[in-house]
C-alpha cells in the first residue's frame, strides 16, 4: 500500500502506469485482508479446539511435554533399542526412546517414523480407546528430529515396510512424550543429505553440498551414511589395535608438542609455550609434511595417524609383511563384520567392493615405472610419481592383478627423506615403500638408518642442520636394532576402502586450511 501512495505523488507520463499499479495494489490489499481474516478465524478455532482439548480429552495423561530430565527420578522402565524390534517382540508392550524422523498425519491417524542411530521403525497413533483425537494431533505436530519416549504395542505387519530398517513390525503407540524438542526449522533435511549423487538432479529434488553439510555437521552425522562411515572407522581402529596386539606390539603415546620443527620451521604449526614457542608434531616419525597449505580432496590439516615401527632381524621385507598382513586383517575384518555399513554407504556412494590379494602384491618401483611407460607415460627412472600417475598405476595394477591394495617397493633414494636406508645393491634406490589403496597412497614407510655414522652422512647430503637433529642422531649411538615402519592415515583408509571421493566425509569434524569449525 505504501508503494502506491508514494507513486501517486509522481506526475506526468507515469500516471497511467501508476493507476494500473494502484489497482494492483488494491487487489493485493484486498487479498491480504481476506488472508488475515482467515488466519484469525483459524486461530480462534484452534484456541477453541485446545480449550475443548483441555476439557474433554480422556487421553490427556498419555502424551505431552514432561519437565526437563534433570535426574529427578530413576525409573525402572526398560527402553528397548529400535534395532531389537523384531517379530519376536510381537504383541509386547514396550518403551522406546527415538527421534521423530518423519511424521505424516492422515485423518484420524498419524504415521511416524522413529529413528535411532541407523535404524528406524514405523509407528502409528490412531484415534481409538487408547488415543484421543487431540493426542493424534499432538503427535502429528511434534517437530522433526525431536526426541520422544513412546510406549507402544509391537505388531507384526503383513506387508514389509520397505522404507524402514525394521520391516516386519510396526509400533502402535499408546503413550508419547517429548523428551527434547527440536526447533521447527532444520538447516537441512536428512533425506537431502543421503540422496545418491546425481539422483536429486533428475527429479528436481535437492541435494546438499559438502560444505553446507559440514557447516551443520551435527545434523549431517545423523544420516544413515554418516552413521555407517563412523562405525566402520571405529572398526578400522579396533581391528588395527587387535591385530597388532596379537602380534605382540605395544601401544605408546608420544608428545604432540615438540621443541623444534623437524622441517626447520617451514610449514608447521607454531604454538606459544610459556616464554618461548613450540611446534605441533606432524608425526611420531620425523618429516611428515601435513601442515602444507593443500586444499585437495585427500588432505586435511589434522588427521588420525596409525603408526607402526618395528625392529626386524635381517631384511626389511619382514616389516612390509607385518604391515601388509595387518592391513589384510583389517580388510577382512571390515568385509566380515561391517557388511551392513558397507552396503549402507554404497547406497549413497556406489563403488565396487574392495579387492585384495593374499599375500599382498609387492611391485618394485622400476616395474611400476615400466608399466606406466608402456601406457604412454613419459617419466625418468628416479622421478617421483605424480598424483595422476599414481592413480593410473593403480588402475593398471588393478587391471593386471585384480587388486585394490598393493605395495610399491624400492623407491628412488633421491625422493625419500634422509633417514631412509639406501639399497645395498643399487645406490640410486632405497629400502622404502608406499602402500596404495584404489591407486591412492595410504602409507609411506621405509627401513630407517639405525647407524649414527651413516645417518649423519645422509643428513649432511640433504643439507640438514646437524645441530637441530642432534638428539635424534644421538639416540642411535648406544646400540639400535635394524628397524622400519610406516604411518597410515585413518581417514584415507576409510575413504578408499569405501570408495568415497573426499576425505572430509570420513573425518567427523574435518580441519583444513579453510575450515576450523564446527
Partner 1 sequence: MSLKELSSLEKALGLKKPNKYSTQGDKKVPVLQSVNGPALVGLVTIATHLVQEAKRPELLGGSAEHKAVVQQWLEYRVTKVDGCHNEDIKTILKDLNSYLEDKVYLAGNQFTLADTLMYYGIHHVIVDLAVQEKEKYMNMTRWFNHVQHYPGIRHHLPPVVVLRNRVYTSGHH
C-alpha cell at 444: 609411506
Minimum CB separation of residue 390 from partner 1 in Å reads: 12
Is 129 a binder of partner 1 (CB under 8 A)?
Answer: no
In this structure, the strands spanning 257-258 and 270-273 are unpaired
Closer by beta carbon to partner 1, 179 or else 396: 396
15 vs 197, which CB is nearer to partner 1? 197
Q: Is 346 in the site for partner 1 (CB under 8 A)?
A: no
- DSSP states of 203-266: TT-----HHHHHHTHHHHTTSHHHHHHHHHHHHHHHHHHHHHHHTT-------SEESS-TTTTT
Question: How far apart (Å, rounded) are the C-alpha atoms in residues 456 and 516?
Answer: 39
Tell me which residue of 79, 85, 76, 136 sits closest to 112, measured CA to CA. Answer: 136
The mark string for 381-410 relative to partner 1 (x by CB under 8 A, - otherwise) is: -------x--xx--xx-xx-----------
Contact flag: residue 196 with partner 1 (CB under 8 A)? no
CB 261 within 8 A of CB 251: no
Q: Is 371 in the site for partner 1 (CB under 8 A)?
A: no
In whole angstroms, give the CA distance from residue 160 to residue 409: 53
Omega before 76 cis (within 30°)?
no
Give 130's contacts (C-beta < 8 A, 6+ positions apart): 59, 62, 174
C-alpha 131 chain-centroid distance: 40
Residue 367 sits in the site that holds partner 1 (CB under 8 A):
no
Please identify which residue in the block is written with the cell numbers 529400535. Answer: 82
Rounded to 5°, the CA angle 191-95-226 comes to: 25
Rounded to 10 degrees, the C-alpha dihedral 218/221/222/228 comes to -160
Cell of 239: 581391528
Tell me which of 12, 198, 204, 376 binds partner 1, using CB under 8 A. Answer: 376
Grid cell locating 70: 534433570
Task: Using the rule CB under 8 A, give the single segment among 19-27, 118-126, 345-353, 422-430 that binds partner 1.
Answer: 345-353
| Of residues 438-467, those binding partner 1 (CB under 8 A) | 438-439
3-state secondary structure at position 167: coil
147: left (phi over 0), alpha (psi -120 to 50) or beta: beta
Q: Which stretch binds partner 1 (CB under 8 A): 17-25, 29-37, 200-208, 371-379?
A: 371-379
Using the rule CB under 8 A, is 87 a contact of partner 1?
A: no
The verdict on 374 binding partner 1 (CB under 8 A) reads yes
Rounded to 10 degrees, what is the CA torsion of 142, 147, 151, 155?
80
Using rule CB under 8 A, residue 499 touches partner 1: yes
* Cβ closest to partner 1, residue 322 vs residue 389: 389
Q: Which residue, 88 or 352, has its beta carbon nearer to partner 1?
A: 352
Verify binding: residue 205, partner 1, rule CB under 8 A.
no
Find the binder of partner 1 among 10, 14, 37, 375 (CB under 8 A). Answer: 375
CB of 211 to partner 1, least distance (A): 22
Q: For partner 1, which is the closer residue by CB, 299 or 391?
A: 391
Question: In angstroms, what is the minimal distance from the CB of 221 to partner 1?
Answer: 25
- If one asks whether residue 352 binds partner 1 (CB under 8 A), the answer comes out as yes
**Which window, 347-355, 356-364, 425-433, 444-452, contacts partner 1 (CB under 8 A)?**
347-355
Which region, judged by CB under 8 A, interacts with partner 1, from 59-67, 115-123, 132-140, 368-376?
368-376
- Nearest to partner 1 of 231, 398 (CB atom): 398
Minimum separation from the CB atom of position 105 to partner 1 (A): 41
Rounded to 5°, the CA angle 314-318-322 comes to: 155
**Residue 180 or 386 with smaller CB distance to partner 1:** 386
**Helix intervals (H) in 307-451:** 317-337, 339-348, 365-374, 387-401
Considering the complex, state which of residue 439 and residue 484 has its C-beta at the smaller distance from partner 1.
439
Closest contact distance (angstroms) between CB of 393 and partner 1 is 10
Q: What minimum distance in Å lies between the beta carbon of 234 and partner 1?
A: 25
Q: Give yes or no for residue 487 binding partner 1 (CB under 8 A).
A: no
Name every residue whose Cβ is closer than 8 Å to that of residue 101 and which is 6 or more positions away in sequence. Answer: 112, 113, 114, 115, 120, 144, 145, 190
Using CB under 8 A, count the residues that bind partner 1.
17
Cα separation, 121 vs 114, in Å, equals 5
Binding site for partner 1 (CB under 8 A): 350-352, 374-376, 388, 391-392, 395-396, 398-399, 438-439, 499, 501
Amino acid at each position: 500500500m505504501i508503494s502506491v501512495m508514494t507513486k501517486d505523488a509522481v506526475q506526468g507520463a507515469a500516471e497511467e502506469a501508476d493507476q494500473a499499479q494502484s489497482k494492483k495494489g488494491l487487489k493485493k490489499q484486498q487479498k491480504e485482508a481476506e488472508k488475515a481474516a482467515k488466519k484469525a478465524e483459524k486461530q480462534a478455532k484452534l484456541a477453541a479446539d485446545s480449550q475443548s482439548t483441555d476439557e474433554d480429552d480422556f487421553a490427556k495423561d498419555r502424551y505431552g511435554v514432561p519437565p526437563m530430565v534433570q535426574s529427578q527420578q530413576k525409573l525402572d522402565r526398560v527402553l528397548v533399542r529400535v534395532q531389537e524390534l523384531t517379530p519376536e517382540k510381537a504383541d509386547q508392550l514396550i518403551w522406546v526412546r527415538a527421534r521423530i524422523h518423519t511424521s505424516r498425519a492422515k485423518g484420524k491417524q498419524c504415521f511416524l517414523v522413529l529413528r535411532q542411530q541407523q535404524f528406524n521403525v514405523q509407528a502409528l497413533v490412531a484415534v481409538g480407546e487408547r488415543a484421543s483425537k487431540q493426542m493424534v494431533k499432538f503427535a502429528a505436530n511434534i517437530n522433526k528430529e525431536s526426541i520422544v519416549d513412546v510406549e507402544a504395542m509391537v505388531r507384526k505387519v503383513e506387508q514389509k515396510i520397505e522404507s524402514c530398517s525394521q520391516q516386519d513390525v510396526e509400533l502402535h503407540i499408546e503413550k508419547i512424550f517429548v523428551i527434547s524438542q527440536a526447533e521447527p526449522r532444520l538447516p537441512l533435511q536428512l533425506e537431502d543429505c543421503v540422496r545418491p549423487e546425481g539422483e536429486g538432479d533428475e527429479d528436481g529434488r535437492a541435494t546438499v553440498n559438502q560444505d553446507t553439510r559440514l557447516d551443520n555437521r551435527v545434523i549431517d552425522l545423523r544420516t544413515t551414511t554418516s552413521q555407517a562411515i563412523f562405525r566402520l572407522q571405529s572398526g578400522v581402529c579396533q581391528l588395527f589395535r587387535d591385530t597388532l596386539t596379537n602380534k605382540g606390539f605395544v601401544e605408546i603415546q608420544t608428545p604432540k608438542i615438540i621443541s623444534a620443527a623437524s622441517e626447520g620451521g617451514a610449514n608447521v604449526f607454531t604454538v606459544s609455550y610459556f616464554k618461548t614457542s613450540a611446534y605441533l608434531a606432524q608425526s611420531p616419525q620425523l618429516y611428515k609434511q601435513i601442515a602444507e597449505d593443500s586444499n585437495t580432496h585427500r588432505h586435511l590439516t589434522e588427521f588420525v595417524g596409525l603408526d607402526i615401527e618395528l625392529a626386524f632381524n635381517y631384511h626389511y621385507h619382514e616389516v612390509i609383511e607385518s604391515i601388509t598382513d595387518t592391513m589384510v586383517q583389517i580388510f577382512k575384518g571390515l568385509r566380515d563384520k561391517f557388511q551392513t555399513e558397507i552396503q549402507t554407504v554404497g547406497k549413497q556412494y556406489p563403488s565396487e567392493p574392495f579387492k585384495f590379494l593374499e599375500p599382498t602384491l609387492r611391485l618394485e618401483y622400476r616395474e611400476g615405472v615400466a608399466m606406466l611407460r608402456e601406457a604412454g607415460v613419459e617419466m625418468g627412472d628416479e622421478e617421483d610419481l605424480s598424483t595422476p600417475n599414481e592413480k593410473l598405476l593403480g588402475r593398471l595394477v588393478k587391471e593386471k592383478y585384480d587388486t585394490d591394495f598393493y605395495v610399491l617397493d624400492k623407491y628412488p633414494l633421491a625422493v625419500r627423506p634422509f633417514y631412509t636406508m639406501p639399497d645395498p645393491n643399487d645406490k640410486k634406490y632405497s629400502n622404502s615403500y608406499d602402500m596404495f589403496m584404489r591407486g591412492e597412497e595410504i602409507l609411506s614407510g621405509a627401513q630407517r638408518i639405525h647407524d649414527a655414522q651413516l645417518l649423519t652422512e645422509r643428513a649432511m647430503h640433504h643439507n640438514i642442520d646437524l645441530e637441530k637433529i642432534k638428539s635424534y642422531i644421538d639416540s642411535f649411538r648406544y646400540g639400535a636394532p635394524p628397524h622400519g615402519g610406516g604411518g597410515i592415515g585413518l581417514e584415507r583408509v576409510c575413504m578408499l576402502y569405501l570408495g568415497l571421493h573426499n576425505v572430509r566425509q570420513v573425518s567427523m569434524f574435518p580441519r583444513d586450511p579453510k575450515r576450523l569449525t564446527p
